Structure formats: structure tokens, C-alpha cells
A and B are shown apart, each in its own frame.
Chain A
Amino acid sequence: MIPVCALGEIHPGEAVRLDGEPPISVFNANGELYAIDDTCTHQDASLADGWLEGCLIECPLHASCFDLRTGEPTGPPAKVGVRTHEVVVQDGHVYVVVAPVPAVT
């Protein structure tokens, strides 16, 4: 489990990015927290810089939208999903349980 920040530090509609390898971002979508890999699968944009609408995060560069619940893109140009990670809130702190890196096929 990686610590992220205090619960109150992620405001609704915003994101906190963890600069790990790879970077992961935690989004607050109307009170629900979601964690996904931060780097868009199309090019190199940071999804934390994107436009959050409901459960969809729109990439700031070419506007592919990713569903925060599944990590799947809903439209082009991205064709591959991002990993989703489990978010745990304990004693007012937010943590992320990093999902395993999928095997390259």
C-alpha cells in the first residue's frame, strides 16, 4: 500500500499524482476516489492534467476518455486501457494498492 495524502487534500473534480514508476493518479469523482495509471496509453500525457467529467477522465492532449472504474478508453485515439488500482481510506488517509503489471502479450 502506498500512502497518497490526507483525504481532504483531493478535492472533488481534482486529482493527486504520485510520481512513481509508472506514475499513478488518484481522482475524486464527485466524492468517489479512483486510482489509475497516470500516463495515457496513446502518448505521454499525464491524465491528472485532464478533464474529469463524471467517471470519465479526458486526456489533455488528444481527448481520449478513460473510464476510471475500468481503465478502458471510450474512444480514440487510445486503444489500450490503463491499469486501475484499489484505493483504501484509513484514518482519514488515502492509500493505493498497486495492481500487478500485466504480462506483455
Chain B
Amino acid sequence: MRTITVVGASIAGLSAARALRAQEFAGRIIVIGDETHEPYDRPPLSKGFLDGSASLDDITLSTPDDKLLDIDWRLGSKAAALDTSARAVVLETGERVVTDGVVLATGARAREMPGPAGVHTLRTLNDAIALKEALKQGGSLVVIGAGFIGAEVASTARQLGLDVTVVEALPTPMAGPLGTQMGQVCADLHRRNGVRLITGVPVAALLGDDRVRAVLLADGREIPADAVVVGIGAIPNVEWLRGSGLAIEGGVVTDARCVTTVPNVVAVGDCASAFNEHAGCVLRLEHWTSAVQQPKIAAAGLLGRTSVHAARFSVPYFWSDQYGSHLQFAGHRRDGDVAEIVEGSPDGPFAAVYRRDSRPVAVLAVDQPRVFGRWRRELASEGVLS
């Protein structure tokens, strides 16, 4: 293998380039990314970068050591196709980048809801700069979707003094990842911090001609808004791979080692639907930690080595910062799993363990990093679930 091309220049792509060099790949590494910015960290976009406590410099991912990686950066270039028979990544300009191996790390993009000016989504640095500017104007903000990004934006906007309403179509926010019982605990976080939460009602329309002025709910209510943030999930950036022969189910399908159905092509991060040994099924995780860990496994796979990754790599993990609290979740919850508080109480710091037939399968903690860590370790040693 002489040349490896990484497509996607964000946390998963950069982590792949670092992992290839750490695993002594001495050939050429090309990183293609359609954004023009140097790789930056997304989690602060809804937190510190949005509230002004973190600067662009703070969220830049590259370190001085990365200069030694000797990467051929192609920022501002979009990959348009993967020609697996001729082993080339075809750019939008028509240029063909011939390569021996490929790391797919194209991530995901925000799902949009069409509307007039003043309606935002939050995925990229440019989105965050625009939203930050809008929040500076103050007034009222309506957040559509009480998922993690919606909740974090609501929290930041509230902290900045805006009048915030969160609208969620489901009866309980975050019931998917956390279950209804713990989803309710998160709902209470909004209410306790002075954010209005409306659940169980879908949005019917975004009102306003030149600029958004209100959000119309399906039950006829109109919520006035100076700005709207749509946080209704993300779509994996995999359309460009159509016709490449890769299996795609949501994301690019891989085994537990990030290997796709096409030789010498691996996929990592938000664009990958990887077999997860902990959950015993294919999961497309949108977790920062997976985007850092999977590239280490993928690099080993591409270089024909067995990965020595720690058992805990297979336990999904994410965190979220809301209203000054650290939320942490590890494992994989399914309907029927029962959550039990093992430390603290839901109106303060706490930890809850989810069990399936008495066996721990997941843990959620709010401001309990130590207890959380102990359970996360326990989950990693539990092995494969079924």
C-alpha cells in the first residue's frame, strides 16, 4: 500500500491520518475535505464556541505535532465518486486521485426544514458563526427538536439571556437513546432552567416572509420567534458513494473492524454503519468518541494488522453539556431495558444503570464522572450482549 486517501477532513479523517502514521505507514496520505477551514472540533459549536468562551483557535484540532504527519491536504475539494475498479477518488472538478487504500470519513450533515431567513441549522463552523451572530441580537429563540444539539443550543441561548422555547414532536425528549424515564429527567432540566418545553406536537410551518417571525404548531399555536434553530437530526454524507459497489444502510456498512464490503476501503465516524460488538448489531453512531476510536481500528485493518484496541472501544460513549451539567452515556439501550438510579437523585447529580434481565447494558450520569467511569469500565468487561 503506497497511497492512502482519506475523504473527509474532520475529527474522524484527521484521526485516521494520525493513526496511519502512528502505525508506521510511511507512504503518501492525501486528505480530501470539502470545507475550507482547517479541521475543527464540532462539539464546542453548540457550547463554548457559541457562548463565546472558546475561540476558533481553541477549537482547531491540529496540533504542532501534526506538521510531522506529512499529509497532502486537499481542503476545499469535494469528492464526487469512488471508482473502486480503477481505485480512484473522483473529485467534483473531474480530477482523479488514484490511490491504493481509502478511508471514508465524510460524516453527516444537518437535516433541514425549509424556511425564510433566520432559520438555522448547526453542523459546521459557518453555521455556528451565523447562529452566534443571531443570538447576539437577543429576543426569542425557538429550537425545533429536543435532541442533544437542540438541548445544548437551548441551554447556551438561555445562558446568553434569550427567551427560549423548545418544541419536540415526541411526547418525551431523547426517549430513543435514553428511554422515556430518563428522557423525562432531561426534559426537567429545560424547565428547571427557565426554558419552555412543548412536547408531543409537530411543527406545521415556519411563518414569515423575508424573515422568520413565528413557528406554527400542528395544534394551531403560534410561537413568536426572532430566530429558529432546527435540530432534527443528521443525514450521513454517503450519496456520493452510490454506484461504487459499497453496501450502504444508513451509513456505509462495515464489520467491527471498520472494513467495508469493498477491499482496501474502510469507513469511520458518523458516515459508517459499523457492526458493534457490544450491542451485537450494526449501529451508525454520531458520537465524537467513536470518530476518534474507529480510525485506530480502521488503520490497522487497512495496513493488514490486527488491532489491539481496548475492549471499551466497542462500548458506545457520548457526552453532552447542558445548563452547566455534564451528561454522560455509555452502552446501548433498547426498549424493555429498565433504568435504575444507582447514585444521587434525578434533581441533582446522579447515575442510572440500565439493565436487561439483571445484566447492566448502559449507564447514564449527570455530574458523576467517577461513578460513570466505573460503570463504563464494567460494561467494557461485560463483553458481547445479545
Show the binding face of A for B, using Cβ within 8 Å.
Answer: 45-46, 49-51, 53, 60-63, 75-77, 79
Residues of B in contact (CB 8 Å), total 21
Q: Taking A61-B319, A61-B328, A63-B289 as contacts, is the C-beta distance between A77 and B41 under 8 angstroms?
A: yes
- The residue on B at minimum CB distance from A59 is B369
A62 touches B288 (CB 8 A): yes
B11 touches A76 (CB 8 A): yes
Show the binding face of B for A, using Cβ within 8 Å.
Answer: 11, 15, 18, 41, 43, 61, 63, 288-289, 292, 310, 317, 319, 326, 328, 369-370, 372-373, 376-377
In the complex, what distance in Å separates the CA atom of A62 from the CA atom of B369? 10
Interface of B is mostly: helix
Instruction: Give the Cβ gap from A27 to chain B, nearest Cβ, in Å.
Output: 14
B370 touches A76 (CB 8 A): no
A62 touches B11 (CB 8 A): no
Residues in A whose Cβ lies below 8 Å from that of B370? 49, 60
Residues in B whose Cβ lies below 8 Å from that of A49? 369-370, 373
B369 touches A76 (CB 8 A): no
- Across the interface, A76 reaches (CB within 8 A) one of B41, B319, B373, namely B41
Instruction: Give the Cβ gap from A77 to chain B, nearest Cβ, in Å.
Output: 6
Q: Taking A63-B289, A76-B61 as contacts, is the C-beta distance between A46 and B377 under 8 angstroms?
A: no
Instruction: Give the Cβ gap from A64 to chain B, nearest Cβ, in Å.
Output: 9
Residues in A whose Cβ lies below 8 Å from that of B288? 62
Tell me how many residue pairs across A and B have CB atoms closer than 8 Å.
36
- Across the interface, B373 reaches (CB within 8 A) one of A50, A75, A79, namely A50
Instruction: Give the Cβ gap from A25 to chain B, nearest Cβ, in Å.
Output: 12
- Across the interface, A63 reaches (CB within 8 A) one of B11, B292, B326, namely B292
In the complex, what distance in Å separates the CA atom of A9 from the CA atom of B151? 42
Interface of A is mostly: loop
A75 touches B292 (CB 8 A): yes
Instruction: Give the Cβ gap from A40 to chain B, nearest Cβ, in Å.
Output: 10
Residues in B whose Cβ lies below 8 Å from that of A61? 319, 326, 328, 369
* A/B interface sample: 15 pairs, CB < 8 A: A45-B369, A46-B369, A51-B373, A51-B376, A60-B373, A61-B319, A61-B328, A61-B369, A62-B43, A62-B289, A63-B289, A75-B15, A75-B292, A77-B41, A77-B43
Instruction: Give the Cβ gap from A53 to chain B, nearest Cβ, in Å.
Output: 7
- The residue on B at minimum CB distance from A51 is B373
Q: Taking A49-B370, A61-B328, A63-B317 as contacts, is the C-beta distance between A79 and B41 under 8 angstroms?
A: no
Q: Taking A49-B373, A61-B326, A61-B328 as contacts, is the C-beta distance between A79 and B319 under 8 angstroms?
A: no
- The residue on A at minimum CB distance from B288 is A62
Q: Give me 11 other A-B pairs in contact (C-beta within 8 A), A63-B289, A75-B18, A76-B11 excluded.
A: A49-B369, A49-B370, A53-B310, A60-B370, A61-B369, A62-B288, A63-B292, A75-B292, A76-B15, A76-B61, A76-B292
In the complex, what distance in Å separates the CA atom of A75 from the CA atom of B373? 18
In the complex, what distance in Å separates the CA atom of A90 from the CA atom of B11? 46
B63 touches A79 (CB 8 A): yes
Instruction: List the 6 shortest-distance A-B pairs measured between CB atoms, nearest first.
Output: A60-B369, A49-B370, A60-B373, A49-B369, A79-B63, A51-B373
Instruction: Give the Cβ gap from A58 to chain B, nearest Cβ, in Å.
Output: 8
Residues in B whose Cβ lies below 8 Å from that of A77? 41, 43
Residues in B whose Cβ lies below 8 Å from that of A53? 310
